[in-house]
Amino acid sequence: MPIFGIGLHILIALYFGIHAVRRGHNLYWLLILFSFPLLGSIVYFFVAYLPELRESRGVRAAKRVVAQAIDPGRELREAGRAYELTPTINNRLRLAAALLDTGNVPGALQHYLEAAQGPFATDAVVLRGLARTQLAANQPQDAVASLERLYADNKDACRHPEAALLYARARAAAQLDGVREAFELALQVATDAEPKCRYADWLSEQADEDARQQARSLYQQIIKDSGHWHSHAKAHNAEWLRRAQAALNA
């Protein structure tokens, strides 16, 4: 039993270590996780894993749909109350996300900008949230700068699915070079159909016929892939499937 316990601790630490590398977190987490497997895993779970899980696009979307149906203003009220009582970084990020979800982009932007100061200036969750809000505020160049600040601290952070897509969208909106390469990376690390659809949207706006043909091919792939989606994937990707079908019909 003791051997099994030690092995389980190491397996959990290994899982979080892989997660840290893939998500582009600071590599000092690896030292903590493998020097103190049990304690390090507990700390990583609460400091890095759980906040990112709460912040992930799929979880946000599901929570937003349920909350809007039951009580449209509940999450914003609770997030505001929690931050007022205990102004921690997690509560600030929760409030910023709630403000963004309810359309208060300036309010969300202020909180993300303040969160991106001091010890959390290069935090992956903070900078992804900041970039997402800057893009919503029609500040694509600032969004690019925020993500490049993240990448400068850890180059592997560019392989996070949300960060990769945000970077491609921001470069496209800012009309910068390297949009195609950014979208190609987003496709490599994608976990849903959104990057493929957004890339196709961008390609369809280009002047050359090859790009438009590639866009049609990507739309067709989305429709083909939808035949293999389970119920959750169908619900999660419904918007992108609809947009792909509409683009092909047009």
Q: Domain total for the chain?
A: 2
Q: Is pLDDT above 70 for 23?
A: no
Confirm if 94 and 52 have CB atoms less than 8 A apart.
Answer: no
- pLDDT at residue number 147: 97
- pLDDT at residue number 32: 84
- State whether 241 and 168 are in the same domain: no
CA distance 140 to 136: 8
Q: Is pLDDT above 50 for 2?
A: no
Tell me, yes or no, whether 138 lies in a domain: yes
- pLDDT at residue number 28: 72
- Domain C-terminal end among 149, 178, 207: 178
- State whether 66 and 170 are in the same domain: yes
- pLDDT at residue number 25: 67
- Domain C-terminal end among 130, 155, 178: 178
Structural domain containing residue 247: 192-250
Does the pTM of the predicted model rise above 0.75?
no
- Kindly state the average pLDDT of the residues 212-226: 96
- pLDDT at residue number 31: 80
- State whether 147 and 240 are in the same domain: no
Three-state secondary structure string covering the chain: CHHHHHHHHHHHHHHHHHHHHHCCCCCHHHHHHHHCHHHHHHHHHHHHHHHHHHHCHHHHHHHHHHHHHHCCCHHHHHHHHHHHHCCCHHHHHHHHHHHHHCCCHHHHHHHHHHHCCHHHCCCHHHHHHHHHHHHHCCCHHHHHHHHHHHHHHCHHHHHCHHHHHHHHHHHHHCCCCCHHHHHHHHHHCCCCCHHHHHHHHHHHCCCCHHHHHHHHHHHHHHHHHHCCCCHHHHHHCHHHHHHHHHHHHC
Tell me, yes or no, whether 169 lies in a domain: yes
